[in-house]
């Protein structure tokens, strides 16, 4: 590791490693820092992705995939099960391997990578971000950089230190618990989603199969409702009721910011990507692909800005514009949809499920699902059709 780089990336999740890879490919000198002892661990994620979006950022390798899925099963409060075939292949990943190899790809592209590197502050010169302060093992270090990319996840502080407004509201924070367990006997062709405003207010419970009876089983609740019961306690109740013989191999907890993208994700010499920028899909909370799409753009723009010798906020606005065009604008519509979906009563959810069950499976597309759920909300339907068009 040197004392000076063009670009320092804080956090080696999928977004951080992707930003580092594309920045290094553009010819910039790049340092990628990870606070944990090993990249890819712990996995605080349900690990589901769609093929199309991910392929725009990285060629998917077979050994990253735990299970292929062809659609989803939506399960209503009274447990009507609605299978919906997707128009693309879905995958449940092994993120331990996936994250590790994405970081390796950044290294292959020329980035320096360092684990056990805990960034605890930024350096400033003339009021502008000029590097990071970090602890590596027992050494206190300072590394100068023209651009710092904060990919430091839900707990992001890089943006805060730079003066950006990054706080997540309680309402928009999904607080989650998940186990990876065996003896989860489900149809492994589908990812399963349980909805109930009473049991999982502001969120849902998921089962994402990983093959041979292994699955990620987890749930998220809006922070507005988690005061009374923790997601871990709710998950335990579900497992006791549905899968009393499950063997639990991993237990993790974590939060997902489910808002539209933060208003400010750049500053002079600073960019935020992934969960740190609130770039997960606000309805589903899925953030792997969207974070990586943003990170690819951010890495490329950062590299070009270095080549131009101009890392001003104005120069970096290109990243914001391209992100909004790619996904950010859609997320604003999804956020409206989220507010609607999570306000549905259990009775309304049951009714929507029955309408869908009467539909032949080939007609159960996402747009039709929303149409049937939104029958009394035409303006929202128009927004959604525009977003998918």
Q: Are strands 81-93 and 65-75 parallel, antiparallel or unpaired?
A: antiparallel
Instruction: Show the site string, 109-138: x = touches other proteins by CB under 8 A, - = not.
Output: -------x-x--------------------
Closer Cβ to other proteins, 54 or 219, answer by number: 219
Instruction: Show the site string, 30-49: x = touches other proteins by CB under 8 A, - = not.
Output: -----xxx----x-x-----
Binders of other proteins in range 213-232 (CB under 8 A): 223, 226-227, 230-232
* Torsion sign over Cα 40, 46, 52, 53: negative
Give the C-alpha separation, 384 to 380, whole Å: 6
- Cβ 16 to other proteins, closest distance in Å? 15
Closer Cβ to other proteins, 250 or 310, answer by number: 250
What are 100's two structure tokens? 């590790």
**Judged by CB under 8 A, which stretch of 151-159, 181-189, 200-208, 369-377 contacts other proteins?**
151-159
Closer Cβ to other proteins, 101 or 152, answer by number: 152
Determine the length of the chain: 389
Closer Cβ to other proteins, 250 or 345, answer by number: 250
- State yes or no: residue 237 binds other proteins (CB under 8 A): no
Going by C-alpha positions, the residue among 240, 262, 247 that lies closest to residue 213 is 247
Q: Tell me how far apart the terminal alpha carbons of the chain are, to the nearest angstrom.
A: 46
How many Cβ atoms sit within 10 Å of the Cβ of residue 317?
Answer: 12
Q: Which residues pair with 333 in a beta bridge?
A: none
- Residue written as tokens 């997707």? 86
Going by C-alpha positions, the residue among 119, 132, 167, 96 that lies closest to residue 11 is 119
Closer Cβ to other proteins, 41 or 382, answer by number: 41
What are 183's two structure tokens? 């003896």
Instruction: Show the site string, 240-269: x = touches other proteins by CB under 8 A, - = not.
Output: -----------xxxxx-x------------
Is 309 exposed, middle or buried (CB count within 10 Å of its CB: 0-12, 13-18, 19+)?
Answer: exposed
Query: Quick one: which of 23, 84, 173, 273 contacts other proteins (CB under 8 A)?
Result: 173
Closer Cβ to other proteins, 61 or 229, answer by number: 229
Q: Which residues bind other proteins (CB under 8 A)?
A: 35-37, 42, 44, 116, 118, 153-157, 160, 167-170, 173, 175-177, 223, 226-227, 230-233, 251-255, 257
């Amino acid at each position: 590791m040197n004392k000076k780089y063009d670009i320092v990336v804080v956090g080696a999740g999928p977004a951080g490693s992707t930003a580092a890879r594309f920045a290094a490919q553009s010819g910039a000198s790049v340092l990628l820092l990870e606070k944990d002892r090993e990249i890819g661990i712990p996995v605080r994620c349900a690990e589901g992705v769609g093929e199309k979006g991910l392929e725009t950022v990285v060629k998917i390798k077979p050994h990253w995939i735990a299970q292929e899925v062809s659609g989803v099963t939506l399960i209503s409060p009274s447990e009507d099960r609605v299978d919906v075939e997707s128009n693309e292949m879905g995958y449940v990943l092994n993120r331990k391997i996936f994250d590790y190899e994405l970081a390796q790809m950044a290294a292959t592209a020329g980035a320096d990578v360092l684990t056990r590197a805990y960034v605890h502050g930024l350096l400033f010169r003339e009021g502008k971000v000029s590097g990071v302060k970090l602890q590596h093992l027992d050494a206190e270090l300072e590394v100068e950089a023209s651009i710092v990319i904060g990919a430091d996840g839900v707990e992001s502080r890089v943006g805060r230190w730079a003066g950006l407004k990054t706080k997540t509201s309680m309402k928009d924070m999904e607080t989650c618990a998940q186990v990876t367990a065996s003896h989860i006997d489900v149809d492994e062709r589908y990812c399963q989603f349980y909805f109930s405003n009473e049991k999982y207010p502001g969120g849902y419970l998921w089962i994402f199969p990983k093959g041979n009876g292994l699955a990620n089983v987890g749930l998220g609740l809006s922070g507005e409702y988690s005061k009374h019961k923790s997601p871990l306690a709710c998950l335990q109740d579900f497992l006791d009721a549905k899968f009393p013989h499950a063997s639990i191999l991993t237990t993790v907890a974590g939060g997902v910011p489910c808002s539209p993208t933060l208003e400010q994700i750049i500053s002079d010499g600073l960019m935020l990507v992934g969960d740190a920028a609130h770039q997960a899909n606000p309805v589903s909370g899925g953030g792997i692909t969207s974070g990586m799409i943003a990170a690819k753009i951010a890495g490329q723009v950062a590299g070009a800005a270095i080549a131009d010798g101009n890392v001003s906020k104005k120069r970096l606005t290109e990243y914001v514009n391209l992100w909004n065009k790619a996904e950010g604008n859609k997320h604003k519509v999804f956020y409206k949809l989220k507010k609607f979906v999570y306000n549905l009563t259990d009775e309304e959810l049951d009714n929507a499920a029955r309408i869908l069950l009467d539909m032949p499976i080939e007609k159960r597309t996402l747009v039709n699902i929303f149409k049937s759920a939104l029958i009394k909300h035409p303006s929202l339907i128009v927004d959604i059709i525009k977003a998918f068009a």
